[in-house]
């Protein structure tokens, strides 16, 4: 420990500055966060205190009952991706909506929205939709950028529409009920889905060559009555899963962790019913669950160490005071915070950045008089842009991994930009009409 004090302003500049340099170095984010926290803890805190912080934060993370829901939701989403539920639903919806201009893209968003309400991770959603929806769109002459942007944007809805892992992690940090956050995220998620579908419909109406219709012969191959009956039948499994998970949370029957366990079980049963369950599927799902959970937990612990040291040395209070004093009033401060989230989403993992953002921004939002639940959902909506914005655009890389060889990264990047703009429009809508977020949480029993 150095025999000197460090000012909160200098703490903020140095810790955030070194963190930024570390991010651009390409070194794993968890080690950067923990490393910066440890160095400043050893230099400027009481001797040995940093070790106590590391032990306490690790223990708190590993024993947090709500965070136990993370591996269960990951398992549920991954198993659901193997089950074939989305594949069968898309097969029917593309016949029903294929007669519309851009119908396959509209069907993709519809199925992705339903799938999002059954899984809380974007990897499973983007990969699944990329496999089942992208090839049919490309084979029928869809514009590559539109097809790729549709899959990426639809796939990322899973991190906003409950059961979202982002919300499961956000809730305990901000001291907000996960059940209430789930309820608050529903309408914004559906608003984004509606904006995506509206954009596709308008674009394909103006430029029919971007989204050709399915041939009349293919549409007539299955009678309309049979299509509708098939759609209703194939909607039953996801509806049961949604009721089994979110319905029990909202009704106060189960906690998010208990509901996540039920969801993992139901998704496995669906895989068995659809004859997709096997030892290989179970092994793959378990491995992916362990990999993602391990990655999340390491980042959570590292970020907790960083933010604890940052707050102990006064950086948190200084940053809060600066943000609250932004010229232009509360909405100028809100705009600055959303801009910071937008930039962070482009550069680093959302899990790491959210552990920086929430401890800093939550007190600012409270001081400015924003409803904490509304502000939390606004943050989560803004984080949607990070999954689509290069260079840290996970959805782009997930899709590229399963896309046909003729699809270039440039095609995907070109396709996502309009959807990033739509996310910002969605953020503006819930900012102007906060009741869109607050109405459902105000009437649910559970939480």
Q: pLDDT > 70: what percent of the chain? A: 95
Residue pLDDT, tens place only, 185-211: 999 999 999 999 999 999 999 999 998
Please compute the mean of the pLDDT values over residues 328-340 and round it to a whole number.
92
Would the pLDDT of 85 be above 80? no
pLDDT at 220: 67
Confidence of residue 331 (pLDDT cuts 50, 70, 90): very high
pLDDT at 185: 93
pLDDT at 4: 60
Confidence of residue 445 (pLDDT cuts 50, 70, 90): very low
pLDDT at 430: 97
Residue pLDDT, tens place only, 103-159: 899 999 998 898 888 776 777 788 888 888 898 899 888 999 999 999 999 989 988
pLDDT at 447: 45
Full 3-state SS string of the chain: CCCCCCCHHHHHHHHHHHHHHHHHHCCCHHHHHHHHHHHHHHHHCCCCHHHHHHHHHHHHHHCCCCCCHHHHHHHHHHHHHHHCHHHHHHHHHHHHHCCCCCHHHHHHHHHHHHHHCCCCCHHHHHHHHHHHCHHHHHHCCCCHHHHHHHHHHHHHHHHCCCCCHHHHHHHHHHCCCHHHHHHHHHHHHHHHHHHHHHHHHHHHHHCHHHCCCCCHHHHHCCCHHHHHHHHHHHHHHHHHHHHHHHHHHHCCCCCHHHHHHHHHHHHHHHHHHCCCCCHHHHHHHHHHHHHHHHHHHHHHHHHHHHHHHHHHCCHHHHHHHHHHCCCCCHHHHHHHHHHHHHHHHHHCCHHHHHHHHHHHHHHHHHHHCCCHHHHHHHHHHHHHHHHCCCCCCHHHHHHHHHCCCCCCHHHHHHHHHHHHHHHHHHHHHHHHCCHHHHHHHHHCCCC
pLDDT at 300: 84
Please compute the mean of the pLDDT values over residues 230-235 and round it to a whole number.
76
Distance CA 325, CA 364 (A): 10
Please provide the average confidence, as pLDDT, over all residues in the chain: 86
Question: How far lies 174's CA from each of 13, 246, 249, 361, 368, in Å?
Answer: 24, 21, 19, 10, 16
Distance CA 298, CA 316 (A): 22
pLDDT at 48: 77
pLDDT at 369: 92
Confidence of residue 221 (pLDDT cuts 50, 70, 90): low
């Amino acid at each position: 420990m150095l025999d000197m004090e460090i000012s909160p302003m200098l703490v903020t500049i140095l810790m955030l500055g070194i963190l930024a340099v570390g991010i651009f170095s390409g070194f794993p984010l968890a080690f950067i966060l923990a490393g910066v926290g440890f160095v400043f803890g050893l230099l400027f805190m009481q001797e040995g205190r940093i070790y106590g912080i590391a032990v306490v934060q690790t223990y708190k993370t590993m024993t947090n009952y709500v965070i136990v829901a993370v591996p269960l939701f990951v398992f549920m989403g991954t198993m659901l991706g193997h089950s074939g539920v989305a594949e069968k639903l898309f097969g029917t919806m593309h016949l029903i909506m294929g007669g519309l201009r851009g119908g396959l893209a509209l069907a993709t968003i519809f199925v992705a929205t339903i799938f999002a309400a059954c899984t809380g991770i974007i990897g499973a959603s983007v990969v699944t939709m990329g496999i089942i929806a992208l090839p049919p769109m490309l084979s029928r002459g869809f514009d590559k950028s539109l097809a790729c942007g549709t899959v990426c944007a639809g796939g990322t809805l899973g991190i906003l529409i409950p059961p979202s892992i982002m919300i499961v992690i956000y809730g305990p940090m901000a001291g907000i009920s996960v059940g209430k956050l789930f309820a608050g995220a529903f309408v914004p998620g559906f608003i984004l889905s509606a904006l995506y579908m509206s954009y596709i419909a308008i674009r394909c109406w103006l430029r029919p060559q971007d989204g050709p219709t399915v041939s009349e012969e293919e549409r007539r191959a299955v009678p309309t009555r049979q299509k509708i009956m098939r759609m209703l039948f194939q909607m039953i499994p996801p509806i049961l899963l949604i009721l089994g998970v979110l319905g029990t949370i909202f009704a106060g029957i189960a906690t998010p962790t208990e509901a996540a366990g039920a969801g993992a079980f139901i998704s496995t049963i669906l895989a068995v019913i659809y004859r997709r369950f096997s030892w290989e599927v179970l092994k793959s799902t378990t491995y992916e669950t362990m990999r993602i959970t391990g990655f999340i937990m390491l980042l959570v612990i590292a970020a907790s160490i960083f933010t604890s040291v940052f707050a102990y040395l006064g950086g948190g209070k200084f940053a809060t005071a600066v943000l609250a004093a932004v010229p232009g009033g509360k909405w100028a401060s809100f705009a600055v915070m959303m801009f910071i989230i937008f930039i962070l989403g482009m550069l680093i993992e959302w899990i790491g950045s959210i552990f920086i953002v929430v401890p800093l921004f939550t007190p600012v939002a409270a001081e400015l008089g924003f409803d904490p639940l509304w502000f939390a959902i606004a943050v989560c909506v803004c984080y949607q842009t990070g999954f689509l914005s290069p260079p840290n655009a996970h959805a782009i890389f997930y899709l590229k991994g399963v896309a046909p060889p003729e699809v270039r990264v440039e095609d995907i990047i070109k396709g996502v930009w309009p959807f990033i703009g739509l996310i910002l429009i969605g953020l503006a809508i819930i900012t102007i009409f906060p009741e869109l977020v607050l109405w459902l949480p105000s009437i649910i029993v559970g939480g």
